[in-house]
Chain A
């Protein structure tokens, strides 16, 4: 097909599929390590073709590896032939390539790449894994901020398309940053609690009775009978406390069959749950949980790797940095009701907070105290689950609390009833079938310590910390009433 001989024909191409034919002792340098310090070095890089643009005797490529990208160049010369440049220009986007090249410093910073001071002059290029030519979505479109899309008439990608083609969408710099940050939240949660003397436990997810009430539970067939998917590890956390584990936490899936199609509900999410005994007052637990959250916020704020991730996310989704107070702000329910009434909201003393009111309260608290994180204590007993300990001095209220980030609830918790008799009474009051929770009540019959705890949603915490607006952005493969795949 060529007029002239191709002198470079062994320096490019599509090798046979990599089936571990030979174990090459070759060092592949990470794109993020391509800096001016390496100028003049000949090295190998494996990355994806992010973009390619041919111009006469040259082909400019942008090679991408997770959040990092670098400009690369194949130019006709003594190392590359015309055919090689043409080959490079025709490699489909997203294909994985092995390139050998020389790192060269550039005079003008390359603003569009993360590696701004260098470019790679390619001497060899091979396609390790080819991508089909028609991508379901374009990655540049997927990282474009909404406003920019509208203003300049360029495409952005809507959420459903992203979720339908999640594998491609997760390759974007923003998605990479979000989920690395989420991993950080989980890691900080574990590290903080472990250093406070907590033990990590795993609880069963196939259970015989609905823990939070029968309405929102998934039923599964279990041999000749039925079972349920756990709505929370509540019952088992407490049983561990009665089994003398003192302070426990667990990280695991939570299943809620709630037909809510909102920005913050998923049918399956990751619960980060805490339960601990206390000496004399449940506020010991509230302070411990709040401090754990603060340690997470500080870790995300102060550790270098997370700062970069946060900046990356903010490029596409700008938001105000997350603010919190030390010690954590704690308001009581009646105070919150008073603040809302002052702002013109009409509500009863024992009414639950609607979502709009929670958000308005968040705004009022932010304006008054300058914090995005606070604890709301002493909820009315009527709106809490049956195992919540009533307030000792006022039967209308309870020793229960919620925690909020940017005006949205992230944790619900309480001092639990640790007395079998009172528990039975409260269960009957809530019309719960005692037969179904017999094992639970029994665990409190043989000396149960006073204890309290709470559970947070991992996806919600990440979403709210970053100031994002939809929990599906922080769930890798989200599940909601309308989505079961991928």
Chain B
């Protein structure tokens, strides 16, 4: 899973040649052998490295505050989102929905690596939501639809339909 993600990320960053990855442990943590010494271990570490290599450091945040926010969400992806038990999905969706109420992207008004990796991480959950559930998490759906249409990001993942019109208004039926 993580390997496919990294491959997609490479493509969207414009890498001509794909890197070779290996994995370790039960979680299949990705490892990238580096020419310059210690291997890079872990999705976030490798992804950040790729961004630097692609000379797009702004994807990690433009200001110190923004960089901290990006790192916070990257950490969220790996610690809270990945492998989360079914009972927690509801609260994660609520949390993301609430957070995104007044922001275009996770880091505010700039597109960053946090958006890319959160998109990959939440895709399988969004794909299984009903139309009504997607409508209940309006902000999250709006952000998700925006990111999946971002040039070069979706890659191998299927498009998740997010309807433009509200079907479930406030009333009962």
Contact = CB atoms under 8 A, between A and B. Distances in A.
Best-surrounded residue of A344, A356, A366, A367 (most CB of chain B within 10 A): A344
A319 B130 contact: no
A367 B167 contact: yes
B167 A364 contact: yes
A467 B163 contact: no
B160 A363 contact: no
Contacts of A343: 131, 161, 163
A363 B172 contact: no
A360 B130 CA distance: 9
A256 interface: no
Contact of A342 (B161, B166, B168): B161
B14 interface: no
Task: From A342, A360, A363, A367, name the one whose CB has the most chain B CB atoms within 10 angstroms.
Answer: A363
A467 B172 contact: yes
B37 interface: no
Contacts of A342: 161
Nearest to A314: B172
B173 interface: yes
Interface string B149-171: 00000000000110101111001
Interface residues of A, number: 17
A406 interface: yes
Contacts of B171: 318-320
Interface residues of B, number: 12
B172 A356 contact: no
Interface in A65-80: none
B161 A363 contact: no
B172 A344 contact: no
Interface string B116-140: 0000000000000011000000000
B172 A367 contact: no
A466 to B, nearest CB: 10
Nearest to B172: A319
Nearest to A372: B173
Contacts of A364: 167
Contacts of A360: 130-131, 167
Contacts of B165: 367
A318 B161 CA distance: 32
Contacts of A363: 131, 167-168
B130 A356 contact: yes
A407 B167 CA distance: 12
B168 A344 contact: no
A324 to B, nearest CB: 14
Contacts of A372: 173
Contacts of B166: 367
B172 A318 contact: yes
Given A343-B163, A363-B168, A366-B167, A320 B173 contact: yes
A406 B161 contact: no
A200 to B, nearest CB: 32
B173 A406 contact: yes
Contacts of B167: 360, 363-364, 366-367
Nearest to A365: B167
B173 A344 contact: no
Nearest to B160: A344
B49 to A, nearest CB: 35
B131 A319 contact: no
A246 B107 CA distance: 71
A129 B160 CA distance: 65
A372 B171 CA distance: 14
A206 B48 CA distance: 76
A235 to B, nearest CB: 35
Nearest to B169: A320
A467 B131 contact: no
Interface in B75-103: none
Contact of A467 (B160, B161, B173): B173
A319 B173 contact: yes
Given A363-B167, A367-B166, A367-B167, A320 B172 contact: yes
B18 to A, nearest CB: 31
Given A319-B173, A344-B160, 15 more contacts: A317-B172, A318-B171, A318-B172, A319-B171, A320-B172, A343-B161, A344-B161, A344-B163, A356-B130, A360-B130, A363-B131, A367-B165, A367-B167, A467-B172, A467-B173
Interface of A: 317-320, 342-344, 356, 360, 363-364, 366-367, 372, 406-407, 467
Q: What 8 pairs between A and B have smallest CB-CB spacing?
A: A344-B161, A363-B167, A320-B171, A319-B172, A467-B173, A406-B173, A367-B167, A367-B165
28 contacts: A317-B172, A318-B171, A318-B172, A319-B172, A319-B173, A320-B171, A320-B172, A320-B173, A342-B161, A343-B131, A343-B161, A343-B163, A344-B161, A356-B130, A360-B130, A360-B131, A360-B167, A363-B131, A364-B167, A366-B167, A367-B165, A367-B166, A367-B167, A372-B173, A406-B173, A407-B173, A467-B172, A467-B173
